[in-house]
Chain A
Amino acid sequence: MVGARDVRDQIPATFDAGRLKTVKVDDRHLMELNMGPQHPSTHGVLRLKVKLDGEIVVDVEPIIGYLHRSSEKLAENMNWVKFIPLTDRMDYLSAMHNNHGYVLAVEQLLGGPDEQVVSERAEHIRVFAAEMSRLCNHLFWMGTFMLDMGALTPLFYALRERETALGFLEELCGARLTFNYFRFGGVKFDLPDDPTYLPRVKTFLADMPSKVDEYQRLLKRNDILVGRLRGTGPLSRDEVLDWGITGPMLRASGVAHDLRKVAPYSIYKELDFDVPTATESDCYGRLVVRWAEMVQSVRIVQQVIDRIEKRDLEGLHLNPDYAGGKILRVKAKGEAYSRIEHPKGEYGCHVIGDGKLQPIRVKVRAPSFANLQVLPIMARGQKIADLIASLGSIDIVLGDVDR
C-alpha cells in the first residue's frame, strides 16, 4: 500500500487518561484548560482542550462524541420511513431541513415511473416549512451568540420572534422542535384548515424585517460588539474552501455558493431571493450574513404563501399513489446522495438500499461536523474570549456533529 506514513503503529492501543497539567512546548509553559462537556457556551456537550499562554490560545482541540447515538447504525434496523424522526433529532434546531435532505435522497431511489412525483402543492408546503425552520434556526443562533458575548437581551428578543414562528409550525405539524413532517412524496399534513392561518403568518412575516432591523440597530453600531467580532476568528477564502466549509461561513468569505441557487432543488428555481455574502469571513461577517439570510427567508416564505393562495396548485400534500401506495413500507434500491442548503451548511444523505425494507446504509453529511474542524485554525493566536466568539459563529449543534 502506498502511503506517506504508516499509521498503524500510531493507533493507540490503550486509553490515555490525559492528565491536565501545564505542558512544555518550545520553552513556553502552557496551561491546558479543559472547557469540558458541561460549559455554558459550548452549545451542547462539546469538549475543548485548550492550550493557553496567558490569555492567548495556542491550540485548541475539540473532542466530540458525547452525543453520539449511532443514528446511522440504527437506520439499518429500521424502515426507510422510520428513520425520518431520527433525522429530526440530529440538528434539532432546524429539523425540517434534516427531514428534507433525507427524504430527497430516498426519493431519488424511489424515482421511476411518472407517478413518483412530489406534487406542486407539496413542494410549496415543503419550502414554506423549511424556510420557517431556517428563520427559527438563525434567530436562535443569534440569541445564543449574543449571550456568549455577554449581551443578555437579544436572546429574549430573538426568542420572542421564534416563539411565534414555532407556533405556526406547531399548527402545521403538531410539534415545535422535532417535526417528523416530511414523507416520501410530500408532507404528512396539509396546511391547517384554519382560514386565518396564512393571514397570521403573513402578518408575522411583514413585521419580521423591522424586527431584524431592531436587532441590527441594537447591535450593529455597538462598539463593544464590533470591537469583539471584527477580525475575530478570521478565515481566508482558501482556508474556507480547503476545509470544506459550507453555508453562511462560506458565504461570509465572498463565495455566493448557496445550493438553493447553484443546484436548485424543490421549487427554489422559481423563487426570487438573493444570496447575501460578506467580504471577510470573520465573526462579524458571519453575523451580518445570517441577519441578511433571515430577511431573505422571510421573502421566500412570502412568495410561497402568495403562490399557495393565488395559484391553483396541483396535487395533494402527499401523493397517495407514491411508491405504489405503500409510503410507510417503501423498499428502495440503489445508491444516491442528495444535498440541500441547510441553515448551517451543506446537508445531505448518502443512502444505499438493496430493495428491502431496511436501508443498507444511511450516512448523513452533517454541516456542523464538517464546519467544527476549522475551530483550531480560527482560534489560534487569539484570546479565550475570541475562542468563544469563533465557536459561536460556526453555529454548531452537537446533535448534528455527533449524530
Chain B
Amino acid sequence: MPEEKKPAQDAGEAAPRPDGDHRALAEASPDDVSGYAVLEDGVPVTEVRADGIFSAARWARDHGYRILSLLSAYDDGKTEFGVLYAFVKPANTPGDFAEMRLKVRMPRKDEAGNDLEPECQSIVDVFSAADWQEREMYDLYGIVFHGHPALRRIFMPEGWSGFPHRKDYREPEQFIAMRDGEDIVLKTQEDGSW
C-alpha cells in the first residue's frame, strides 16, 4: 500500500520534500501534482492527478526521460486503483542513470460513497510504448485511458466481461465464444468445472 514512508533516521520529522526534477515538475504544473512520496526502494515518486498525467509525462519526456520503463496498475483492494509510471533517461556512461516516477491514484468511491470506475489520461501520444501497456491495464483492471486510439483487450479474448485482476473479480459462469457463426457455449458447473 503506498504511503508516505518516513526513513528510519528521520522518524518524527516531516514528510519528505521533493527535490531535483520532482520539485521542478511540482513548480511547473502545480495543478497536476497532488503529492510526493518516497518508496521503499528509496526512489521518490510524484503523485499526479488523473487528468494531469499527460502533461506531466510530456514534461518528463521533454526533460530527457525518454524511455517508458514501467506502467503498472494496481488495485489495493480497499480504497483505490493506481498506476505507477517510471520514466528513464537513456544513459551512455556508467552510473549516469536517472529515473522519474509518477503515480496516479484513482479512488474507488467518491465523497458521496458512489462507486467510481477508474479513469486516467492516456500518454500514448507522448510515449508510443504506452500503447500495449495501457491496453494491458485496461484489460486486467478496467482502467480507461482516455485518448488511447484503440483501447481493446490484449490478453483476454474479445468479448470477455469483467476485469480479471480486480480484487472483486468473479469468474463468469458462462464464456461464450463465437466462431464462424456458430456459438460455442462453455458453462461453469456448480463444482467449478466446465
Contacts and interface: CB of A to CB of B under 8 A. Distances in A.
A and B touch in the complex (CB under 8 A): yes
Interface of A: 1-8, 10-12, 14-17, 64-65, 68, 70, 72-73, 76, 105, 108-109, 111-112, 241-246, 250, 255-257, 259, 261-264, 333-339, 346, 348, 350, 352, 354, 360-361, 363, 365, 369-370, 372-373, 402
B93 interface: yes
Interface string B126-160: 01111111001000100011111111111111110
5 contacts: A3-B121, A15-B158, A76-B167, A361-B76, A373-B131
A244 B179 contact: no
A257 B164 CA distance: 35
Contact of A64 (B41, B88, B155): B155
B60 interface: no
B70 A4 contact: no
Contacts of B46: none
A230 B131 CA distance: 28
Contacts of A336: 39-41
A401 B100 CA distance: 25
Given A10-B150, A250-B90, A263-B97, A242 B40 contact: no
A350 B76 CA distance: 13
Contacts of B72: 337, 350, 361, 363, 365
Contacts of A369: 132, 136
Interface string B105-126: 0000000000000010110010
Interface of B: 1-2, 5, 8, 39-43, 50-51, 66-70, 72-77, 84, 86, 88, 90-97, 101, 119, 121-122, 125, 127-133, 136, 140, 144-159, 164-165, 167, 176-181
A333 B1 CA distance: 8
Contacts of A365: 69-70, 72
A370 B129 contact: yes
Contacts of B76: 352, 354, 360-361
A372 B84 CA distance: 21
Contacts of B5: 334
Contact of A257 (B90, B150, B156): B90
Contacts of B43: 337
Nearest to A18: B158
A140 B193 CA distance: 38
A189 B149 CA distance: 49
Contacts of A334: 5, 39-40
Contacts of A339: 69
A243 B156 contact: no
B129 A373 contact: yes
B125 A73 contact: no
Given A1-B51, A373-B132, A241 B144 contact: no
B146 A352 contact: no
A108 B39 CA distance: 10
B158 to A, nearest CB: 5
Contact of A65 (B88, B145, B148, B155): B155
A225 B15 CA distance: 59
A360 B40 contact: no
A337 B159 contact: no
B129 A15 contact: no
B70 A14 contact: no
